[in-house]
């Protein structure tokens, strides 16, 4: 049977739309939203009807009837912490997306748009593996300060999709093998996947973990306290130093790895040192995940935009290849990952989850 799935992936300045027929994409479109079009909305959530209208126009222009779809799936937003999987968009989930229980973000529109488009036809609306996926072991939640527990916020959608692909490459069942997945992009997250659960991962949103093109990564705590109390920076300025203006941007004034490699080729020693430091910090995170898995690692997966850089992958690989097989899956395909989450439910390969959380 052919299942037709509409995928909606809202970003801050664009809405990506895709029509999938089983695993194959039939139509893909990225609708850009000029600042002038969004300036009249006080909150991101207020953009729902505006974006829904654009999606309906997209479908009408291609003569794609909503009544020909079997499901609509949207990118998951900043919900409460939940285990990974495909979730039905119900009233509780919609409420938390609307109020922004963990903050406002364009991804909060994903589940709301999916429901808006699916409900008239009585077809299911889903989200898949939002960034708030939390499967940490209890010990992994504890930091040295009781008031500051560790949080699981990471590139769950791509990490989970790549963990599945790695299982296929290994010829193993997804639910029985251990993998370490490092998503390498503007933010970097490294997760220890014990069978189907991500039992350890760094908080990539707040910049914990490796140095990245835009994030400082974990920095010496005492010196950070002194910097915070120095009076040199406001609260917002200091947060920007950690996420947005940290990492390569702070050291080299660019977040573009191609530019860094160009400078290295021209003999820039400082750029090479920072490049190597970033690679080492990624390897350090992967090593920490290996320790969590007690060395029982079936594969290390390197993915994300930086995985297109042969030089960076080579630098990371030198430090981690002793762990075993290294699988490189460059880039990230969120649209396909979302479609496959819905397809697994439609095919009966897994059950759709209900959005529930402890009181």
**Percentage of the chain modeled with pLDDT above 70:** 99
Q: Is the pLDDT of residue 8 over 90?
A: yes
Q: CB–CB of 225/217 below 8 Å?
A: no
Confidence of residue 359 (pLDDT cuts 50, 70, 90): low
Specify which residues 331 forms β-bridges with: 304
Taking CA atoms, 89 is separated from 83, 118, 304, in Å, by 15, 10, 28
**What is the rounded average pLDDT of the residues 291-306?**
97
Instruction: Tell me the pTM.
Output: 0.92
The helix/strand count (H/E) of the chain reads as 12, 11
- Name the nearest CA neighbour of 244 among 269, 217, 215: 215
| Percent of the chain with pLDDT strictly greater than 90 | 91
Query: Where does 156-331 sit in CATH, by number?
Result: 3.30.420.40
- Condensed to tens digits (0 to 9), the pLDDT of residues 231-240 reads 999 999 999 9
Please give the CATH topology (third level) of the domain spanning 4-135+335-346. Answer: Nucleotidyltransferase; domain 5 (3.30.420)
Give the tokens for residue 342: 């819905």
Domain with CATH 3.30.420.40 in the chain: 4-135+335-346, 156-331
pLDDT-derived band of residue 6, with 50, 70 and 90 as boundaries?
Answer: very high
**CA separation, residue 265 to residues 40, 259, 260, 272, 274 (Å):** 46, 10, 9, 9, 14
Question: Is the pLDDT at 323 greater than 90, yes or no?
Answer: yes
pLDDT tier, 356 (very low <50, low <70, confident <90, very high otherwise): confident
| Segment 217-259, tens digit of pLDDT | 999 999 999 999 999 999 999 999 999 899 999 999 999 999 9
Q: What are phi and psi of 156, to 5 degrees?
A: -60, -40
Return the residue matching tokens 């503007």. 186
pLDDT of 288 reads 97
- Predicted confidence (pLDDT) at residue 358 exceeds the cutoff of 70: no
Q: What is the structure's pLDDT at 12?
A: 85
Which one has a higher pLDDT value, 216 or 27? 216
pLDDT digits (tens, 9 = 90+) for 149-183: 999 999 999 999 999 999 999 999 999 999 999 99
């Amino acid at each position: 049977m052919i299942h037709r799935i509409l995928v909606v992936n809202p970003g801050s300045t664009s809405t990506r739309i895709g029509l999938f027929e089983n695993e194959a994409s039939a139509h893909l479109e990225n609708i850009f939203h000029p600042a002038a079009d969004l300036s009249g909305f006080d909150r991101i959530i207020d953009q729902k009807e505006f974006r829904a209208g654009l999606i309906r126009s997209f479908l009408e222009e291609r003569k794609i009837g909503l009544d020909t779809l079997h499901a609509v799936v949207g990118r998951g937003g900043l919900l409460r912490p939940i285990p990974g999987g495909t979730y039905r968009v119900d009233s509780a989930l919609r409420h938390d997306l609307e109020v922004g229980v963990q903050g406002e973000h364009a991804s909060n529109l994903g589940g709301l748009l999916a429901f808006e488009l699916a409900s008239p036809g009585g077809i299911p609306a889903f989200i898949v593996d939002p960034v708030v996926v939390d499967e940490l072991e209890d010990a992994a939640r504890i930091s040295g300060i009781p008031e500051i527990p560790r949080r699981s916020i990471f590139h769950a959608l791509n990490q989970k999709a790549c963990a599945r692909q790695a299982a296929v490459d290994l010829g193993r069942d997804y639910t029985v093998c251990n993998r370490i997945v490092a998503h390498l992009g503007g933010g970097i997250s490294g997760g220890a996947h014990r069978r189907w659960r991500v039992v350890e991962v760094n908080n990539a949103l707040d910049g914990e973990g490796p140095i990245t093109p835009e994030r400082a990564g974990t920095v010496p705590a005492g010196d950070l306290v002194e910097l915070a109390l120095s009076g040199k920076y406001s609260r917002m300025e200091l947060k920007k130093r950690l996420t947005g203006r940290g990492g390569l941007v702070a050291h080299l004034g660019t977040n573009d790895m191609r530019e860094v490699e160009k400078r290295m080729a021209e003999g820039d020693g400082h750029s090479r040192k920072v490049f190597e430091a970033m690679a080492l910090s990624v390897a350090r995170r992967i090593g920490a995940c290996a320790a969590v898995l007690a060395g029982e690692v079936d594969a290390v997966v390197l993915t994300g935009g930086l995985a297109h850089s042969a030089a960076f992958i080579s630098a990371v690989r030198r430090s981690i290849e002793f762990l075993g097989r290294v699988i490189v899956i460059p880039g990230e395909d969120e649209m396909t990952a979302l479609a496959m989450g819905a397809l697994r439910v439609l095919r009966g390969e897994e059950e759709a989850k209900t959005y529930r959380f402890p009181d």
